[in-house]
Every structure is written in C-alpha cells, then in structure tokens.
A and B are shown apart, each in its own frame.
Chain A
Amino acid sequence: MNTTTQDTDATLDPVSHDDHHHDGPPKGIMRWILTTNHKDIGTLYLWFSFIMFLIGGAMALVIRAELFQPGLQLVDPNFFNQMTTVHGLIMVFGAVMPAFTGLANWMIPLMIGAPDMALPRMNNWSFWILPFAFFILLSSLFMEGGGPNFGWTFYAPLSTTYGPDSTALFVFSVHIMGISSIMGAINVIVTIVNMRAPGMTWMKLPLFVWTWLITAFLLIMVMPVLAGVVTMVLTDKYFATSFFDAAGGGDPVMFQHIFWFFGHPEVYIMILPSFGIVSSIVPAFSRKKLFGYSSMVYATASIAILSFLVWAHHMFTTGMPLAGELFFMYCTMLIAVPTGVKIFNWVATMWRGALTFETPMLFSLAFIILFTIGGFSGLMLAITPADFQYHDTYFVVAHFHYVLVSGAVFSIMAAAYYWLPKWTGHMYNDTLSKWHFWCSLISVNVLFFPMHFVGLAGMPRRIPDYALQFADINQIVSIGGFAFGLSQLLFLAVVIKCIRGGEAAEAKPWEGAEGLEWEVPSPAPYHTFSTPPEVK
C-alpha cells in the first residue's frame, strides 16, 4: 500500500490553507521564517536544539576545566555560578525539550497519517519565539553584574534578594520558553486527538505518539506553574511583594514547593518521549512486535500521574515532618514500578529476537542500561535518611546526568539516526556513526560514573573549588567531559554528511521497522498524507 500522495492538489487539504499551493518548498531564508510545514518546523527545532546543545556543552566544559584541579584557576566563582545555571537552563529548555518538540513535529503527523500539525501557524510562532528567549538569556551573561547565577532551580532568596540585576531578563526568557512549550503542547494534543487517519484507533497509536500526548498534557499542567513562580520571583525582586521573603510574611521554602511542583513533572517531560523513541527502535531491530504494548501505555500514564505526587523528595532536608518524608519517599519508590514495567518490556521484546546492532539500536541499548543505572541512583536518593547524605552532592549530579544525558540525550540521538534516512533520503555514514556511539558511550561513563564516588565522599555540587582528596577523580571526570564534548562533533559531521549525500535510502531502510512513516518515500516529500491513509 503506497499512500504517498504528494501529487495531490494541496488545496484539497483541509489544514494547510496557507501559501503552499505548490509541492516543493519556497526558496531562500523566507522559507524558514514563514514556514508552516511540520517538517520544516521540525528541522528548525532540531537544529536549534543541536546548537543549544553545543552552547550548553561549551559551558559544561568551562565548568569541567575549572574543576580539573582544586583551587581557583580559570574563572571567578561568580562566573562559575553563571555557567552552572545557564548550562542547566540551556540543556533543559534549549536542548532536550526543543529536540523532542522537533521530533514530534516531524514524526507525529507522519505516524498518525495526518497531512500536517493541526495548527500550522501557531507552530511557526512557537518555534520562532524560542531563539529570542535564548538570545535574551545568553545576552544577560554579558551585562554588568552578569547573568543568572542562582542555579537553574533559582531558589529564593538566591534569585530574589541576592540575584543579579539581570534577573528580570531571566524571568522574561523563561516566560517566552513557557509560552512556546505550551503552544507546542496544545498543537500536539489537537493534532493527535483530531487528525488521526481513519482506523488509527487509540490503542494502535505508535508509542512515541502516546508518550508525546501524555507529555503534552504534563506541559500544559506545569509550564504555567513555572510561569507563575518566575513571576513571583520577578515581583518579589522588583515590586516589593513578599511571596518568598520572610521579612514580609512570605516563606522561602514555599518557593521550593511551587518550583518542584513544576520541576518534578518536568523531569518526566524530558524522559517520556524517550520511552516512546526506544519503544519504536527496539522492536525494529529485534524484528519482533513490542512486548506489552498496552502495559507501556498504562505505565506511561501512571508515571505521569505519580509525577505530581513526589515533588518534595527534592526537599527532604528542609525540615519536613516525618509523615511527609515517608509519603514522598514511598510515592517516589512507587514510580520504579511502572518504570520497571517499561524496562522489562524492552528486554522482553529483545528476548529471542533477531537482533542487529545498527547505530540507533546501539544508542537505544545504551539508553536502557544507563537509564536504569540513573533510575537506581534515583531510588537511592528517594530513601529519605540516605538522602540527607546525598543531598546537594555530586551524587545527585551523577544521578540526573545519567537519566538526562545517557537517558534523554542518547534517545534523541537514537531517534536522529533512526529517522535520518527518512528526513534526508540518505543513509548516514555507518563507520563514523559507530565511532560517535562508542566514543560517546565510553566518555559519558568516564564523565559521570566517578561523580557517584566523589558525591558519596561529600563533594558538594555547584562549587568552583573542592578539597584536595577529590582531585584525582575530578581530573578523570574532566577528561571524560572533554572527550564526550568532542565526540558530539562527530555527530555533527555525520548529520552534515548525511544531508549532503550518501547511499540512497529506501522508503523503509530498516527491515523490522513498523509504522506509517515508512510508507512514504525517503526523503519524505514536502507534503504527505494529503489524503489520509487506510489503517488496518
């Protein structure tokens, strides 16, 4: 069944009633600025996210260079603090989230047999306000007094009483990022709910679509809370309110409650689409159907619901009553159950499968193993009495980098390798991609695994200097950091080479792959599924 209908007149298409009355894209820069095409916007998001990944990564390298030796050598502590803060903000809001939105834009319409996203003009806006948000954030680094230096969590009173003058710019940039995310999420939900091809019932949706649908609901529920809390920081700092100022009757601990009410669902926003990606790739290279499809859907939904009940596990040391600590400890541990279901299903999918190890599969396998390591250290952190020792140490840094770098980022790379042939029409350079994988795999572990040890030994996070006994491990970590950073240039090379040329890709370059996206030719034509496909 070939359902490619790129030759169909686009005016029949009920949605893309814009200026694309022809098949190909318009030429020049205006194509990208005015585009309402989901594939163009997906490409923009992905490139934007990769540029942010490199900028945020460069900041991480400043941090690792400073920590290569004990003592202060390269940057002054205030700048170090700005680096840790902006590195976190850029990686969370500039790299991981836009990468997922880019993948959603490219793949969701293709996967559900829709001609485009439901709201193409809003789609254009939700991308194009992002560069301004990050321009504002990055430019604040060059202002007098410096950029945000209070950690990406911007705890009051660090951001209110003690924040730099540029804090207002930080607040506005977060507002813009939030608006962008909410618009993106609305678009995803409307697309999935209203634009599925006939026969694409809920329980036939590819898991990437399911996980994104649930992620989009999380975004709509928590991004406004983030907007609210930054607004409170803004008025506390500049308009003499006292939300978080004890002198005026406020409470700084309340900041942490509101922030983490956003912040914990946020970490699932950054991992649920990964689960969807891995659930697409593992069956493809195991040549088996995904084991336990419906349990995957329910597990994703349970994780999303539980994510609203665990926020205070970030705050065990604030002096909560025992009952509260126990509640949040058990709820946190409960999340291991649906997550365990997912890991089990991936392993069961591979069980007795005809496995091959192409680069997307390698990244997915690394994801499963390394994300599980990050999950286990998360369970250790969930144990309230133990958390008092781990809190604010490098153990926490190791934990969340395992789930975010070797978790979320690895899954994004897996996705990029998996769908690059569909996007570009060329196969990527296999040798170079394997180099990229193995260099990344080794260096990411050299980078983050030893952090567990210095953390347990008591090295605090976010401090530009450390006690002498941590020197050796920090040197190893820094070497791993630079190796990981440089390895990502290989990825850039692979992607550019793949866009420029290479072996022509078939419509379905992966033998075991399933889904509507493989029924359109490679590269995917500018307009696809103008007539909805039949889903059996």
Chain B
Amino acid sequence: MSQSTQNRKLIGLLLLGAVGMFGFGFALVPLYDVLCDALGINGKTNETAVTYKPMEVDTSRLVSVEFVAMVPGKMPWEFGPEVKRMQVHPGELIRTKFLATNNTGATMVGQAIPSVSPGTGAAYFNKTECFCFNQQTLMAHASAELPLIFYVDPDLPEEINTLTLSYTLFDITVQMDSTGGSEQVKQDNQKTTKHSDFTARYSLGGGNAEQGVAR
C-alpha cells in the first residue's frame, strides 16, 4: 500500500502543478503589463496626465512628431488630426487637436487608444492633457475638437528622430450600455454630468471639447 500512498502524493503534486500553471496563465496578464512598462517596450504612453515642469527647451534639436488616426471596422465616425506632422523641440509644450464627427443618427461613445512608434520612444512622449484619458460621447451628427497637449522628453535617445503617435478610436457604446452607462447615452440632448471633469479640464486646452452638445 506504500505504492498507493506514493501515487497519491505524486498525483497531488502534479495536480498542484497543473492548477498552478492555470493560475500562471492569468498571472501573465499583469506580468505582461509590468514588464512592458518597466522596459518601455510596447508603445504604450502614459494613461494619466503628467504635469509639465518648466524645463530647458533643447532648441538645437528638432524631432518630427506625426499624428495618425484610425477608425477600425464599422465605427462610423470621422476622426483625424488637425495637423498631420509637426517639428518640435524636445522640452517644448505643444498644443494640438484632433477632430471627431459622429455621422450617425444616434448618440455614441468612443474611446481613443494611443500608441507610439517606435515603441521604445513611448516613454519619452509625455501627455499633459489628452482626450484619450476619457471616453468621448458624441450625439447624433455632432462634432468635437479633441485637444492634446504634450511634450517630448529632452532625454529622447539620439537615434530617434521621428515619433508617430497613433490613435485608434473604438466604439464602446455597447460596453457602456451594458455597464450602466446606457442612461447617459440615452439622455439625448442633455449634457451628462459624468464627463464634467473632462469638460473642465479641456477648457484649459482652449478647444471646444464639450461632449454631446449638438451644434
């Protein structure tokens, strides 16, 4: 009977291993984010605003910044940058904006996801204000100017002379519906309170970013 005890012990260990590896599969998700963050490798930019401390602008150097906007699949919005390409000095605070138009007859919610190429340059691209920090609600046939304020870190490695900032605008109307955002979406012609902080923030940016206001 010592064999069946031995068997049971080994089975227990192996089962534990299998369950542990199932958990490890899920642990890979936060691990992936932590690693990408630590190594600065997957082109993700800061997800919350950074504050700009006045710094010395490196006027001896010019970096090209390109703006790309993508609307995937069936998302029926028009979305694009006001300026497609600009030359900036590292350390300089730059203000620009994107334009979005909801071409449908229904209120929709969009979420812009930024990504910087080359990926290793992402850590040096700092946004002090970005419409991507919040969801965008646009009423039927409404348009909005979406401001973006950023600076390029003067520590940007020498070999990088162009940074491409790409936004993909996802339709998250359905997700907002299912997570209780539906009332807001359905309250046509009424400015919602959820995005008030968003509006306040962007009044600073100078753009008219009031969401959901028919014009």
Binding site for B on A (CB under 8 A): 14-15, 118-119, 161, 182, 185-186, 189-190, 193-195, 220-229, 232, 240, 243, 245-248, 251, 253-254, 257-258, 261-262, 319-321, 324
Complexed CA–CA distance, A75 and B17 (Å): 44
In the bound complex, residues from chain B placing their C-beta under 8 Å from that of A253 are: 42
Residues of A within 8 A of B18 (CB): 182, 186, 220, 223-224
In the assembled complex, the CB of A530 is this many whole angstroms from the nearest CB of chain B, namely: 14
Q: Flag whether B106 is at the interface (Cβ < 8 A).
A: no
Count residues on chain B whose CB falls below 8 Å from chain A CBs.
38
Q: Tell me the nearest residue of chain B to A222, going by C-beta.
A: B21
Residue in A closest to B6 when the chains form the complex, CB atoms: A194
Q: Are A247 and B10 in contact (CB under 8 A)?
A: no
Contacting residue for B28 out of A15, A182, A246, A258, CB 8 A? A258
Question: Do A220 and B21 have beta carbons less than 8 Å apart?
Answer: yes
Specify the chain A residue showing the minimal Cβ separation from B135.
Answer: A247
A189-B10 contact, Cβ under 8 Å, with A221-B17, A224-B18, A321-B41: yes
Partner of B119, one of A247, A248, A319: A319
Q: Which residue of A lies closest to B114 (CB)?
A: A246
Candidates A14, A185, A189, A247; contact of B111 at CB < 8 Å: A247
Give bound CA distance, A119 to B7, whole Å: 9
| A228 and B10 form a contact (CB under 8 A) | no
Say yes or no for B60: interface residue by CB 8 A criterion.
no
Minimum CB–CB distance for A161 against chain B, Å: 8
Q: A14-B3, A228-B25, A254-B29 are in contact. List 13 more A-B contacts (CB 8 A).
A: A185-B14, A190-B11, A193-B10, A220-B18, A223-B18, A224-B18, A228-B24, A240-B178, A246-B168, A247-B170, A248-B111, A319-B119, A324-B41
Please measure, in the bound complex, the distance between the C-alpha atom of A228 and the C-alpha atom of B18, giving whole angstroms. Answer: 11
Report how far A300 CA is from B175 CA in the complex, Å: 48
Query: Across the interface, do B42 and A246 meet the contact criterion of CB distance under 8 Å?
Result: no
Report yes or no: B21 in contact with A189, Cβ–Cβ below 8 A. no
* Interface flag for B101 (CB, 8 Å): no
- Report how far A189 CA is from B10 CA in the complex, Å: 9
Q: Per-residue CB proximity of B152-169 to A under 8 Å, as 1/0? A: 000000000000000010
Residues of chain A within 8 A (CB-CB) of B17 are 220-221
Nearest chain B residue, comparing its CB with the CB of A179: B18
Q: Given contacts A220-B18, A228-B26, A321-B119, are A254 and B32 in contact (CB under 8 A)?
A: yes
* Contact in complex: A261, B14 (CB < 8 Å): no
A91 to B60, CA, bound (A): 61
Nearest residue in B to A245 (C-beta to C-beta)? B170
Q: List 30 A-B contacts (CB under 8 A).
A: A15-B3, A182-B18, A186-B15, A186-B18, A189-B10, A189-B14, A190-B7, A193-B10, A194-B6, A221-B17, A222-B21, A224-B22, A224-B24, A224-B25, A227-B25, A228-B25, A228-B26, A232-B26, A240-B179, A247-B113, A247-B171, A247-B175, A251-B42, A254-B28, A258-B28, A319-B117, A320-B41, A321-B39, A321-B119, A321-B120
Task: Answer whether residue B147 sits at the interface, using C-beta atoms and an 8 A cutoff.
Answer: no
Check: B43 CB closer than 8 A to any chain A CB.
yes
By the criterion CB–CB under 8 Å, are B7 and A257 in contact? no
Quick check: is B19 within 8 A (CB to CB) of the other chain?
A: yes
User: Closest B-chain residue to A248, C-beta based?
Assistant: B175
Which residue of the partner chain B has the closest CB to A227?
B22
Residue numbers of B with Cβ under 8 A of A are 3-4, 6-7, 10-11, 14-15, 17-22, 24-26, 28-29, 32-33, 39, 41-43, 73, 111, 113, 117, 119-120, 168, 170-172, 175, 178-179
Given A119-B7, A246-B168, A186 and B29 touching (CB < 8 A)?
no
Residues of A within 8 A of B120 (CB): 321
Q: Are the CB atoms of A228 and B22 closer together than 8 Å?
A: yes
How distant is B215 from chain A, measured CB to nearest CB, in Å?
26
| Complex: A320 Cα to B168 Cα, angstroms | 20
CB distance from A312 to the nearest CB of B (A): 12
Question: Which A residue's beta carbon lies closest to that of B44?
Answer: A251
**Cβ of A321: which chain B residues have Cβ within 8 Å of it?**
39, 41, 119-120
The chain A residue with its CB closest to the CB of B28 is: A258
| Shortest Cβ distance from residue A217 to the other chain B in the assembled complex, whole angstroms | 9
Q: How far is the CA of A204 from the CA of B143 in the complex (A)?
A: 76
Nearest CB in chain A: distance from B37 CB, A: 12
Chain A residues, Cβ within 8 Å of B117: 319
B25 touches A225 (CB 8 A): yes
| Residue in A15, A240, A246 with the greatest tally of chain B CB atoms within 10 Å | A246
Residues of B within 8 A of A243 (CB): 29
Which one, A15, A221, A251, contacts B21 given CB within 8 A? Answer: A221
In the complex, A320→B111 CA distance in Å? 25
Which B residues are in CB contact (< 8 Å) with A186? 11, 14-15, 18
Residues of chain B with a CB closer than 8 A to A194's CB: 3, 6-7, 10
For the complex, give the distance between the alpha carbons of A254 and B42 in Å.
Answer: 10
- Residue ID in chain A nearest B24 by CB atoms: A225
Q: Are A225 and B21 neighbours in the complex by a CB distance under 8 Å?
A: yes
Residues of chain B within 8 A (CB-CB) of A228 are: 22, 24-26
Flag if B41 contacts A119 (CB, 8 Å). Answer: no
Whether B41 contacts A229 by the Cβ 8 Å rule is: no
Give CA–CA (A18, B41) in the complex, Å. 57
CA distance A319 to B44 in the complex (A): 13
Which residues of chain B are near A254, meaning CB under 8 Å? Answer: 28-29, 32
A240 CA / B39 CA spacing, docked (Å): 29
**Which residues of A have CB within 8 Å of B4?**
14
Chain B residues with CB under 8 Å of A225's CB are 21-22, 24-25, 28
Contacts of A251 in B (CB 8 A): 32-33, 42
Q: How far is the CA of A94 from the CA of B59 in the complex (A)?
A: 64
Q: A-B pairs with the 8 shortest C-beta distances?
A: A228-B25, A247-B170, A224-B22, A224-B21, A225-B25, A246-B113, A186-B14, A254-B32
Residues in B with CB closer than 8 Å to A195 are 3
Determine the residue in chain A with the shortest Cβ distance to B26: A228
The winner among B170, B171, B178 for most chain A CB atoms within 10 A is: B170
Q: How far is the CB of B70 from chain A (nearest CB, A)?
A: 11
Interchain CB contact under 8 A, A190 and B42: no
In the complex formed, the residue of B with least CB distance to A321 is: B41
Q: Within the complex, what minimum Cβ distance (angstroms) separates B122 from chain A?
A: 11
Residue from A182, A220, A246, A258 in contact with B25 in the complex, judged by beta carbons closer than 8 Å: A258
- In the complex, chain A residues whose CB is within 8 Å of the CB of B171: 247
Contact between A261 and B3, CB atoms less than 8 A apart? no
CA distance A319 to B28 in the complex (A): 19
**Measured CA separation A237–B119 after assembly (Å):** 28
A220 and B41 form a contact (CB under 8 A): no
Cβ of B3: which chain A residues have Cβ within 8 Å of it? 14-15, 194-195
With most chain A CB atoms within 10 A of its CB, the pick from B15, B25, B117 is B25
Minimum distance in angstroms from B1 CB to a CB of chain A: 8
Pick the most buried of A232, A253, A321: most chain B CB atoms within 10 A of its CB. A321
With both chains docked as a complex, state the minimum distance between the C-beta of A325 and any C-beta of chain B, in angstroms: 11
Distance in Å: Cβ of A264 to nearest Cβ of chain B? 14
